[in-house]
Structure 1
Amino acid sequence: MSSSVASFDLASPIGPWVVVARNDDRVAQEKVAALASGGVVRRLDSRNMADTAGLFTEFADKLEFPSYFGHNWYALVDCLDDLHGSWHGRRPVVIVVEEADVLVGRDFLPLFVSVLCEAAERANLSLDADGLPRSRPPFPLHFVFFLARSEVREVAKELGARDDMLIRESAGRLLVWSQSE
């Protein structure tokens, strides 16, 4: 496995877009902590995300989505790709899902991760909804899921049901990208 696949950089606009790690993964925790000084780290509480309505509300509240946010998957991609609020400033953004074990086994987990990959790909590569380049510069957007009780392999098995994501297991964590067509 190449070093580019085995590692991840949360401060740059390169994949993986989603990282799934255990709470005791020091490297992942340190990378999130290091970004806090020059970027933005927002933490979501998965206990509020046990269903899709709660998931959309948690994102809207913690990321200060505009009032017209539609509380659906398409609207989530759009709002993540075009982050609003004075807190952003085109700095690297990492959204951390704490205690992501709550999401393991939920029927929407694979779709949720796929949607996050789509939003991150659009933001990181500065692409519009049709996959065409935008005039604005890219900005780093990544998602980190921390697990306390579940195993990374459980999540890999669930995500593997979709064919629109590239999933690699490396150093005890999952690295997830959008699957190129």
Structure 2
Amino acid sequence: MAALALPWTTPEAPWLHVLPSESGLGAEPSADGGLVRVLDARRMETVAGLFNEFQRALKFPGYFGRNWDALDECVCDLEWLPASSYRIVIEAAPRLLDRDQAERPTFLSLMSDAGKAWASAPRGGRERPGRAIPFNTVLLGTSIDWCP
């Protein structure tokens, strides 16, 4: 009997996943040796805090412009962090952009679009290495009623 594939192990949609913190899932090491980065939403209650936490966790290059377009560019590139798959895990997700709530849809759309970009070969004029690469975002927490 084949093992059940967790939804963030494939490049197919959906690319956003919401799980209760106590599930014990999401932040486990990747079976394929892919990159798993855990970010803390308590440090991302504002847009500026979100940019800081992403820059820290994903080691964005010095040219990171600390705006939505720059975040999109960096999460869709990651050539400085090559991996067979990418999983961004956000702990305490109900606190995410708590002080900039109007920006939550922008963030969710950007992360979903990044998953779609990694699932397709061409992006930004570069070809992906011969196959789709899983890129998923996992939001951990209870009462995340603002995430579709």
Q: TM-score, normalised by structure 1?
A: 0.68
**Matching residue of 1:102:** 95
- Contact 1:44/1:58, CA 8 A, preserved across alignment: yes
CA distance in 2, matches of 1:62, 1:104: 17
CA distance in 2, matches of 1:92, 1:33: 13
- C-alpha displacement of 1:8: 4.8
Letter in 2 for 1:144: V
Consecutive unaligned residues of structure 2, counting only runs of 5 or more, are none
Alignment of 1:125 with 2:123, yes or no, is no
- C-alpha displacement of 1:104: 6.7
- C-alpha displacement of 1:139: 1.6
**Cα deviation 1:109-151 (Å, max 9, x = unaligned):** 111100111111111222425xxx853233211000001xx42
How many equivalent residue pairs? Answer: 140
Q: Aligned with 1:113: secondary structure?
A: helix
Change (3 A) 1:72 1:23: same
Change (3 A) 1:36 1:62: farther
Change (3 A) 1:102 1:69: same
**Matching residue of 1:83:** 78
What is the aligned counterpart of 1:54 among 49, 52, 62? 49
CA distance in 2, matches of 1:56, 1:125: 25
Letter in 2 for 1:10: W
- Contact 1:78/1:119, CA 8 A, preserved across alignment: no
Q: Report which structure shows greater RCO (CA 8 Å, sep ≥6).
A: 2
How large is the RMSD of aligned CA atoms in angstroms?
2.3
Following superposition, which runs of at least 4 residues in structure 1 exceed 4 angstroms of deviation?
A: none
